[in-house]
Amino acid sequence: MTPVDSFLAAHGYGAAARTPLPQDAGHRRYTRLTGGPRSALLMDCTDAPRVGVTPEEDLVPFLRLARHIAGIGLSAPAVLAEDLPRGLLLVEDLGPDTHARLLDAGADPRPLYEAAAEALAALHAAPPPPGLPRWEAPRMAETAGLTFLEWWWPATFGARPDDAVRAEFAAAMQAMLSPFAGAGCLVHRDYFPANLIDLPGRPGPRRTGILDFQDAAEGHPAYDLVSLVEDARRDVAPEVRQAAIDRYLDGRAGLDADAFLAAFAAQAAQRHLRVAALWVRLDRRDNKPGYLKHGPRCWALLDRALRHPSTRPLATFLDRHVPPDLRRNPDPAPEDLPA
């Protein structure tokens, strides 16, 4: 009997039907279980060592944050059973109705985005749990460089940038993002429709179930709102985008709206540049070229963000080194061209 079989049998799911769920760009595997004591999902992190952590280390942030989110009155999957050394969890199955699935099926987007913004405002209004990693200028500059400078740049120019360019990029990111440090809320970091579940039986902000929060950090709340309304994977109509922003700001009455929108543009510029280059890494390193279809959207969103004065340091860097006609997916690698 495998460790997974033993774990499921010990908790009443030995005979449950197993339906693997589609895997995203991450390493965790999810399986829907039916026919057990209650509908549940198996989270399998046994491959965590390949990303440099033990399975237990991989699961502890999920457990901690699931309990935090539930503790502030929002909806996260309840933990039903755990085997941390083996990297296995049983969690509540909140159902198949992700916002992404509903949108793809033709649901009216505005109510879903407004509900998501309401839940996000409540998430950000609560004090964050202690000990979260920081998601501010130094780390944001580093992560952007790991995709933009290490993957997009050599794929476009044929060589990695020199030390002077690296230093200039880091300084531009620092100058753009540091004015918005110290906001001090829990930032989900991937708050978009695939990670949100519609739960119509639950009232208010609890209607939106929140998933995939284990990489949360402490940072500026605008980052999550960017993730929601300027989605790297789908277009959001201008009126829906604005309705969600308005709903969010209504839920955060103490915020200075102008300062928040300046931070929004800066956070958007970092995210869109990083993610546009991430698609290149997924193509070149991981043989996942399908993600490149999202590149044009990310570059267009970056272009919009760069029009705001708060993004001038990054705009100046790009104007010097990356002319507008190169702000796109790189040309195919020679080995990808037809013979």
Q: What is the CATH number of the domain that holds 54?
A: 3.30.200.20
**Residue 140 confidence (pLDDT) above 70:** yes
Q: Calculate mean pLDDT across residues 12-33.
A: 84
Same domain (yes/no): 56, 159: no
| Residue 1, domain member (yes or no) | no
Same domain (yes/no): 265, 326: yes
**Residue 78 confidence (pLDDT) above 90:** yes
**Residue 213 confidence (pLDDT) above 80:** yes
Domain boundary among 56, 77, 92: 92
Q: Calculate mean pLDDT across residues 318-332.
A: 97
Quote the pLDDT of residue 280: 98
The counts of H helices and E strands in the chain are: 12, 10
Q: Are 295 and 278 in contact (CB under 8 A)?
A: no
**Residue 227 confidence (pLDDT) above 50:** yes
Quote the pLDDT of residue 24: 58
**pLDDT class of 223 with cuts at 50, 70, 90:** very high
Same domain (yes/no): 120, 198: yes
Q: Which domain holds residue 56?
A: 9-92
- The count of domains in the chain is 2
Quote the pLDDT of residue 12: 95
Same domain (yes/no): 68, 114: no
Quote the pLDDT of residue 21: 87
Same domain (yes/no): 163, 292: yes
pLDDT tens string 144-165 = 999 999 999 999 999 999 999 9
Same domain (yes/no): 112, 220: yes
Taken as a whole, the chain contains a residue count of 339
User: Residue 134, class by beta-carbon neighbours within 10 Å (0-12 exposed, 13-18 middle, 19+ buried)?
Assistant: middle
Alpha carbon distance 310, 315 (integer Å): 10
H/E element, 168: helix 163-177
Quote the pLDDT of residue 336: 60
Quote the pLDDT of residue 58: 81
Quote the pLDDT of residue 339: 42
Same domain (yes/no): 104, 77: no
**pLDDT class of 333 with cuts at 50, 70, 90:** confident
Pick from 44-48, 138-142, 244-248: least confident: 44-48
Q: Are 153 and 108 in contact (CB under 8 A)?
A: no
Quote the pLDDT of residue 93: 95
| Residue 337, domain member (yes or no) | no
Domain boundary among 92, 126, 147: 92
Alpha carbon distance 288, 301 (integer Å): 22
Q: Calculate mean pLDDT across residues 172-183.
A: 91
Which of these, 135, 191, 137, 156, lies nearest to 281 by C-alpha position?
A: 156
Q: What is the mean pLDDT of the chain?
A: 93
